[in-house]
Amino acid sequence: MAGSHNFDVKAFPLETYVREAAARVEAALARSVAEPAGPSGRLFEAMRYSLLAGGKRLRPVLAIAACEAVGGSVESVMGFACAIEMIHTYSLIHDDLPCMDDDDLRRGRPTNHKVYGEAIATLAGDGLLTDAFRVVASSSPKVSAGVLLQTVIDLADAAGSDGMAGGQVIDLLGEGRVLELKELEVLHRKKTGALFIASVVCGARLGGATEKQLESMRQYGQALGLAFQVADDLLDVESNAEDLGKRTQKDEARGKATYPSLLGIEQSHQLARELASKAHAALADFDHRADPLRALASFAVERKV
Amino acid sequence: MAGSHNFDVKAFPLETYVREAAARVEAALARSVAEPAGPSGRLFEAMRYSLLAGGKRLRPVLAIAACEAVGGSVESVMGFACAIEMIHTYSLIHDDLPCMDDDDLRRGRPTNHKVYGEAIATLAGDGLLTDAFRVVASSSPKVSAGVLLQTVIDLADAAGSDGMAGGQVIDLLGEGRVLELKELEVLHRKKTGALFIASVVCGARLGGATEKQLESMRQYGQALGLAFQVADDLLDVESNAEDLGKRTQKDEARGKATYPSLLGIEQSHQLARELASKAHAALADFDHRADPLRALASFAVERKV
């Protein structure tokens, strides 16, 4: 690894770090969406059903880790951390709908529309997406309005038509035909990569990062997002539903292109490792406060779930 | 009418004012959503299909009129004007989906999902909603970041789980049973009223309004939004599909509560007129620059389409 700071991935207590950061996120998420009461109570119930269903909280943890890597405080980033998880959750609810991927199971539980019906599930997604912008914009009195406004812009860019929503369209239209490797990269860059990049770039900006640090975070996020995707594809092939809490080998069943299907399993593992190295290299100029980000890059390609 | 300014509704060229303001909005909207190109081209096509399908552009025109009423310039408000129409359009696309109102016709044309399928229509709505926040947040270099940030918050509040999305849930869950008048008011305050209020409050704030002026705009928007709703209900009963470009008397067919069904037709007309008067009264302290808003309040209850 480049840089003067020595990082020993085995010595870093990633599990503890993630557990503690995720616990803070859980508490803040529960406050971000109202308790079910009043005439719209059913909507809040559906929103909370998916938002508070556990999950790795990877994007909020990345945002917190990026903020801390540049010396920022958790308070500055928590609103954004919640917002990005709300947006991630909305995308899962809509992706699971019968007209999209038609999934019955998510994180080991029935999907939102299986419990609340399609109409409420659609609106629960809409509500989470919309409320996410309220949460980020009204979050941090310590952060300048200019920085919060740029966070809103980056978040909308990452999630919108040129980001995640656009990626989902490419994914839908690509089913049934074999995408080429270049197309698969564009798909993942938009569908999942953009939100990963926003997590660390906005997290760092909210922590007071310099322009140079933001560029490093952009490179880190890009490599990390793709590393997670390649590893996800590999897990889909190599794991079973019990471990993952969702249906596996569904990519193949749908004729979806994946890294293993295009590159083979061994070369996909190799690519994932290269991407993790790239992520590490992007952090060369950061000190020990970036160790959580380094450990997450290693975890991305070594995880079993 | 209260106030020292004399306003003659018959003398005000509302049609010209609305046509010119709407034309500026059309041009800005076309620039707000990319041309269909690249792998996500189909998404942009679907977004543009509904966004650029005409329509009264009532909310953007209200925003512009509110901005001008306090002496602001159109440039300051145009990004927000586009954003609120994008959010209105997203809500129409999702409301028309088979799992919601299941409508085939909107503004005289097939609904979005009839042309693009349910998956793309859902994502076109998601894309418009998300991109709206990019458009408003990155719109106006002349406006302070603090004011733009407050605009983001108000917009998200009006459209989110405690606003429009929450209202749609009340609407869905209320079908098949008779709502009481109080419930109907809560429904409309959330489902359509919140976005009307945001149109004029944010429009005025972007134009440099004082706190007192913002409060007047809030009262104006509340009365106007409900006036439009009562008038809409009356049009649904009294008009035919050819005039409106959508199916009529569908409220009754679905067993939905409306003002005419709860109050009768004559009393509903009376209520609409009272609401228009309230809207006029809220503008008592404004000069002639608020005449477009005054004319719109009169139009709300006198229109035939």
A181-199, pLDDT tens digit by residue?
999 999 999 999 999 999 9
pLDDT tens figures, A98-118:
999 999 999 889 999 999 999
Distance CA B132, CA A155 (A): 12
Distance CA B204, CA B210 (A): 9
What pLDDT score does B243 carry? 56
Distance CA A31, CA B47 (A): 33
- Kindly calculate the radius of gyration of chain A based on its CA atoms and give it in whole angstroms: 19
What pLDDT score does A240 carry? 62
Domain ranges of chain B: 9-302
Distance CA A272, CA B179 (A): 57
Distance CA A124, CA B264 (A): 34
Residues 133-162 of A with CB under 8 A from B: 133-134, 137-138, 144-146, 148-149, 152-153, 155-157, 159-162
Find the helix or strand (DSSP H, E) in which A105 lies.
strand A105-106
Q: If you average pLDDT over every residue of chain A, what do you get?
A: 92
Query: Is pLDDT at A266 greater than 80 in this prediction?
Result: yes
CA A257 from centre of chain = 21
- CB < 8 Å to B149, chain A: 137, 145, 148-149, 152
User: Shortest CA distance to A204 belongs to which of A7, A59, A71?
Assistant: A71
Question: With b meaning 16 or more CB within 10 Å and e meaning fewer, what string describes A183-202?
Answer: bbebbbbbbbbbbbbbbbbb
Query: Is pLDDT at A246 greater than 60 in this prediction?
Result: no
- Rounding to the nearest 10 degrees, give the CA dihedral for residues B178, B179, B180, B182: -170
Contact A160 B43 (CB under 8 A): no
Mutate to test the interface with B, among A32, A96, A130 (most CBs of B within 10 A): A130
pTM higher than 0.90 = yes
Distance CA B255, CA B155 (A): 31
Distance CA B300, CA A203 (A): 46
User: Shortest CA distance to A52 belongs to which of A75, A77, A73, A25?
Assistant: A25
What pLDDT score does A250 carry? 64
Give the pairing type, strands A109-110 and B109-110: unpaired
Query: Is pLDDT at A1 greater than 50 in this prediction?
Result: no
User: Shortest CA distance to A188 belongs to which of A227, A243, A226, A240?
Assistant: A226
Task: Give DSSP secondary structure letters for B146-177.
Answer: HHHHHHHHHHHHHHSTTTHHHHHHHHHHHTTS
What pLDDT score does B37 carry? 85
Contact B161 A187 (CB under 8 A): no
Contact A166 B119 (CB under 8 A): no
Question: With b meaning 16 or more CB within 10 Å and e meaning fewer, what string describes B8-40?
Answer: ebeebebeebbeebbebbbebbeebbbeeeebb
Tokens of A36: 């079910």
SS3 A106: strand
Tens-binned pLDDT, residue by residue, of chain B (305 aa): 444 578 888 889 999 999 999 999 999 999 999 888 888 999 999 999 999 998 889 999 999 999 999 999 999 999 999 999 999 999 999 999 999 999 999 988 999 999 999 999 999 999 999 999 999 999 877 899 999 999 999 999 999 999 999 999 999 988 777 788 999 999 999 999 999 999 999 999 999 999 999 999 999 999 999 999 999 999 988 876 555 555 556 666 667 789 999 999 999 999 999 999 999 999 999 999 999 999 999 999 888 76
CA A30 from centre of chain = 18
Distance CA B162, CA A38 (A): 10
- Whether A149 and B145 have beta carbons less than 8 Å apart is answered as yes
- CB < 8 Å to A132, chain B: 156
The CATH number fitting domain B9-302, selected from 1.10.600.10, 3.90.1150.10, 1.10.3720.10, 3.20.20.150: 1.10.600.10
Find the helix or strand (DSSP H, E) in which A109 lies.
strand A109-110
Mutate to test the interface with A, among B89, B99, B144, B190 (most CBs of A within 10 A): B99
What pLDDT score does A48 carry? 97
Percent of chain A clearing pLDDT 70 (strictly above): 93
Contact A165 B94 (CB under 8 A): no
Name A240's Cβ contacts closer than 8 Å, sequence gap at least 6: A248
- CB < 8 Å to A131, chain B: 156, 160-161
What is the residue whose two structure tokens read 């569904």? Answer: A250
What pLDDT score does B1 carry? 44
CB contacts < 8 A, A to B, total: 169
What pLDDT score does B212 carry? 98
Amino acid of residue B119: A
Q: How far is B126 from chain A (nearest CA, A)?
A: 7
